[in-house]
Amino acid sequence: MIIASTLTTNLAILVLAGFIGFVVISKVPNTLHTPLMSGTNAIHGIVLLGGLLIVGLSGNGTFNKVILVIAIAFGTINVVGGFLVTDRMLEMFKTKPKPPPARSGKGDEDGKGKAP
């Protein structure tokens, strides 16, 4: 019973997320499709969490530890690289249309994702 309700809750989340994704992404103009793609690409790097969760469970043998470290490394490349490269691209779009560029200048984008 509990398992069934977890499944249905998760399926509901899945379906609703699909619809939200459609609505949100449909508003992105063609011009920004490359940054959109690399940005969403960074977001699916969230599979990193899967690696973090499983590596914390007991009973992982050496081989499992190796593939999980690789999975975490892959996920990190995906997240950190994806967000950084998207930021680089979007900066180019941002500063052009506004002659006085109101840069946030915090430089915090560099620390994101790799801090944990």
Partner 1 sequence: MSAAPLATTFLQDPSFLDVLYIIAFALFIQGLRGLSGPTTAVRGNRIAAVGMLIAVAATLLNRNEGNWGLIALGIALGTAVGVPAARQVKMTAMPQMVALFNGVGGGAVFLISWSEFRLTHGYTGTATYITIFSLFAAIVGSVSFWGSNIAFGKLQEIIPGRPISFGSAQQVVNGVLLVLAVAAAVYIATGEHSQGIFIGMLVCAALLGNAVVLPIGGADMPVVISMLNAFTGLSAAATGIALNNPALIVAGMIVGASGSILTNLMAVAMNRSIPAIIAGGFGGGGAVEGASGAGEHAGTVRSTTAADAAIQLAYANRVMIVPGYGMAVAQAQHAVRELTKALEARQVEVSFAIHPVAGRMPGHMNVLLAEADVPYDQLEEMEEANQEFGRTDVSLVIGANDVTNPAAKNTPSSPIYGMPILEVSESHSVIVIKRSMNPGFAGIENELYYEPETTMLFGDAKTAVSEITAELANI
Site for partner 1 in 40-69 (CB under 8 A): 40-61, 63-65, 67-69
Residues 64-91: b if buried by 16+ CB within 10 A, e if exposed? eeeebeebbeebbebbbbbbbbbbeebe
With CB under 8 A as the contact rule, the residue among 27, 100, 105, 107 that binds partner 1 is 27
Q: Which listed residue (1, 22, 100, 107) binds partner 1 by CB under 8 A?
A: 22
Helices (H), 56-110: 62-76, 82-95
Total of residues contacting partner 1 (CB under 8 A): 93
Say whether residue 105 binds partner 1 (CB under 8 A): no
Check residue 5 for interaction with partner 1 (CB under 8 A).
Answer: no
Burial (CB < 10 A; 0-12, 13-18, 19+), residue 42, is buried
Report the site for partner 1 in 70-99 (rule: CB under 8 A): 70-94, 96-98
What token pair was written down for 7? Answer: 């499944």
Residue 101 binds to partner 1 (criterion: CB under 8 A): no
